[in-house]
Structures are given as structure tokens and as C-alpha cells.
Structure 1
Amino acid sequence: MFQTLAHLRFLLKATNQHGVHSPFIYNYVTKCLYKKEKLHRNKGFNVILKSISYFNVKTAFTTNKELKKHVKNNINYTNTNVDFGYLNTPDLAVFNSINYHNNTMVFIHNIYKNKQTEQVWEQIKLLNKVTVTVDVFYGAAVFFRKEQAKEHFKIRL
């Protein structure tokens, strides 16, 4: 029931590429997220796989074996200076342990799994180091771009 209500709230506030004024996020949405190819049956994993390809990820942080199995690229898995991070659920301690750089993207799955995960997600969005988030309901992309103003986008897929 919580996820159904969360999805309805999401749909009321979400937009498509026309509601995005940031060139970086507009390109990410139109050239990556809205790309027609389907790489995985799970919508969240589909976003992850498209993003890894779009950002040409070389180093990644994840403990998820399924993700490692589906990623075809030659990626070095580490937790230092990562291009891409993956969290199965919002976890502030793990999120803060990731050694990111300006162009790092962290994808957090299951942000609306329950009230607690949504609350942790809200805390992550408020962190000073987080500048841009792209919430697609199934998960969210988090960016640390210093040259960008702090913004939070809700994008319908």
C-alpha cells in the first residue's frame, strides 16, 4: 500500500524532459533514460545499465552480484574514486563511505520501498555534497557536480 501511494504522489509531481532546464540533466534524460533499448526487465536495472554505458564508467562500487553479472563492460570494482556507485536501498552510512569525484553518479534503488527508505532518501538529498538528483521512482541517480546548482528532478519513464 505504501508503494502505491508513493507512486501516485510521484506521478503528480513528476515531469518529462520538457520540465528540465539543466543541459546536463536534459541530455541525460533524452540521450540515456529515454533511449528505446531495453537492457533488463527490471526498470531500475535498465536505468543503471543505460547509465553505465552513457557515462562510460570505468570504476564502480557495488556489492550486488546480479549487477556485476549484467555489466558487460570492463569495470574495476572498488570503493575509491568511483565513476558509478550502486546501493540496493538508501543507506546513509554506505552512501557516505563512497569515495566520489565531480562526475560520479550513485544510483540508489528502492527509494520508495517503505517509509524508512523514503526518509533516508530525503536525508541523502539534503547532504551538501549532493548537487543533483534524478528520481525515476524505481530508484534515483545522485550527482556531485560542483558547477551545478542544487536541484532535484522527478522524471517519468
Structure 2
Amino acid sequence: MSKTYQIQSYFNFLKRSTNQHGVHSPFVYDLVTKCFYDKKKYPAYQDIKAYRQQLLSNTASLKVTDLGTGSQVFKTNKRSISKMAAVAGSSYKDAKLLYRLTQYLQCDSILELGTSLGIATQALALGHPKATLTTIEGCPNISAAAKNTFKTFDLNHIDVVTNDFRDAINRLQTNTYDLVYFDGNHQKEPTLQYFEALLPTITNDSLFIFDDIYWSKDMTDAWNMIKQHPKVTVTIDTYNFGFVFFRQEQAKEHFTIRL
């Protein structure tokens, strides 16, 4: 069901989407032109590539505890790291965008729900190395694998929390986050619960990023409900990601942008 839905929703996205020329908000126009469409070859891209390559060549297997929707690809809970990196990890293109975002917005305090093998985590960390970055992973074996790879790449400022998301959110010590990346549980109700639970941590400049908003009809329903929330002012749908801003000075507006 999901694959058919994803293909259909992608065609609909292409029909609706525009580039920077359809954008009249100066804030969003700058974000799209200076960050989304930034073509510079940053040295950090080599590190992002090296991190991915290391995982793609790692043939070790992990026993996985799935706390979210489970996988659309894997039929067993024993999975090789290389296959997980190829199928479930952030793509190189997405990781580069996450890097540019934390660099462009200078996010000092970052929270990630769903570490997986840490491809996105590394990109977020490289974009603003002085940031405090907390990442939450529900599966102990995946969490341990990510910690090992972080160590190999000298990513010592990442705090990895191994816990169920709801529990972990309840125990968070930080009062506010500049960026929260939701990439763990692609189900409607949990996504909405985590969104509501983390709303008290926003400032006027905070950004929430939702991964895979067209994973399923349920996930798109959650995305549409988030867009309508009274605290949300600006959203940007790039198909793979849904970006949510809370800037009070902005008129409520929803953008659909091709990357």
C-alpha cells in the first residue's frame, strides 16, 4: 500500500511544487536560495561521504528492536549494517541538506528523534560543531553501533540517549531547542504526540523537521494536522522533508518547494 501511495503522492507533489520564484516571503526566499539551493562544495561533504562509506562496507549484523512502524524492506529483525545504511539511512543528498541547515541557521541546541546509524546525526553535528546535540534511539544495538561510529569520527559532542521516545522526551533537561528532527516513528498518533510534547521547547526561531511525510497516508494526515496548528506559521514541503517554523512575525503560509 505504501509504495503505491508514495508514487502517487510524489506525482501530486510535482504538480503543486515550485522553486524560489514562487516564494514571496523574504525569510523563506533566503532560506531556499542561500541554503536549500546552495551549490558550494563544502569540505564537510567528504566527511559525510566517508561516514556513509564506512557503514556501507560494514557487513556486521545487528539484532534490531523496532519501536516504530517497522521496516517496509526488512522482513526479519537481524539486519546487516551495510543494508541498513543503504536502505534506512539518510541519503547523501538529504545529509548534505541537513548539514547546510544547521550551518545556515546556526542551531545551538539540536534534538533528533531516531538516531539509526547516525548518518543524519553526523551531518547535523558537522553543520554547527559548537551545538549541543542530543539524539534518541530506541534500539540498544543500533544505538551502540552509532556510538562506535561517532567515536571513530571523533564526534564527541553528541549525546546518545537509548530509550523509548516518549520516556526520553519526558526526561529531557533542555528547555528550548533551535532544531528538532523527527525521524523515528512514522505513525500518525505518535508523531502528533511527540510534536505536542516538544512544542513547549520552541522559541520564535525554532525549526521542526519531519522526515518522510509521505511515508503513508497516515503520516501525511499527521503532517496536514501539524500545518494547521495555531502555533505553526510557515511550513515548507520538500516531499522528503516537512519543515515547520513558528515565527510570529510571519503570516501563516505553506510552501511546496522542489529540491
Q: Is the shorter-chain TM-score for this pair beyond 0.5, marking a shared fold? A: yes
- Please say if residues 6 and 112 of structure 1, whose CA atoms lie closer than 8 Å, have aligned partners that are also in contact: yes
CA deviations over 1:87-136 (Å, ceiling 9, x no partner): 01461111122210000011110000011100000000010000000110
Hey, what does 1:86 align to over in structure 2? 181
Following TM superposition, by how much is the alpha carbon of 1:37 offset from its aligned partner in structure 2, in angstroms?
4.1
Aligned-pair RMSD on alpha carbons? 1.7
Alignment partner of 1:50 out of 91, 100, 108? 100
Alignment partner of 2:220 out of 118, 127, 136? 118
Cα separation, 2, equivalents of 1:117 and 1:37? 33
CA deviations over 1:69-92 (Å, ceiling 9, x no partner): 332212213552111110014611
- Please say if residues 32 and 51 of structure 1, whose CA atoms lie closer than 8 Å, have aligned partners that are also in contact: yes
Q: How many residues were matched structurally?
A: 157
Q: Secondary structure at the match of 1:82?
A: coil
Q: Secondary structure at the match of 1:25?
A: helix
Hey, what does 1:77 align to over in structure 2? 133
Instruction: Name structure 1 gaps, 5 residues minimum.
Output: none
Counterpart of 1:46, as a letter, is K
- Please say if residues 223 and 242 of structure 2, whose CA atoms lie closer than 8 Å, have aligned partners that are also in contact: no
Q: Structure 1 residue 140 and structure 2 residue 232: aligned?
A: no
Following TM superposition, by how much is the alpha carbon of 1:156 offset from its aligned partner in structure 2, in angstroms?
0.5
Cα separation, 1, equivalents of 2:121 and 2:14? 31
Q: Secondary structure at the match of 2:15?
A: helix
Q: Choose between structure 1 and 2: higher strand proportion.
A: 1
Cα separation, 1, equivalents of 2:208 and 2:254? 14
Hey, what does 2:139 align to over in structure 1? none
Of structures 1 and 2, the one with the larger relative CO (CA 8 A, separation 6+) is 1
Q: Choose between structure 1 and 2: higher helix proportion.
A: 2
Q: Structure 1 residue 24 and structure 2 residue 42: aligned?
A: no
> Whose radius of gyration is greater, 1 or 2?
2
- Please say if residues 16 and 155 of structure 1, whose CA atoms lie closer than 8 Å, have aligned partners that are also in contact: yes
- Please say if residues 43 and 138 of structure 1, whose CA atoms lie closer than 8 Å, have aligned partners that are also in contact: no
- Using the aligned pairs only, state the percent identity: 35
Alignment partner of 1:6 out of 3, 9, 16? 9
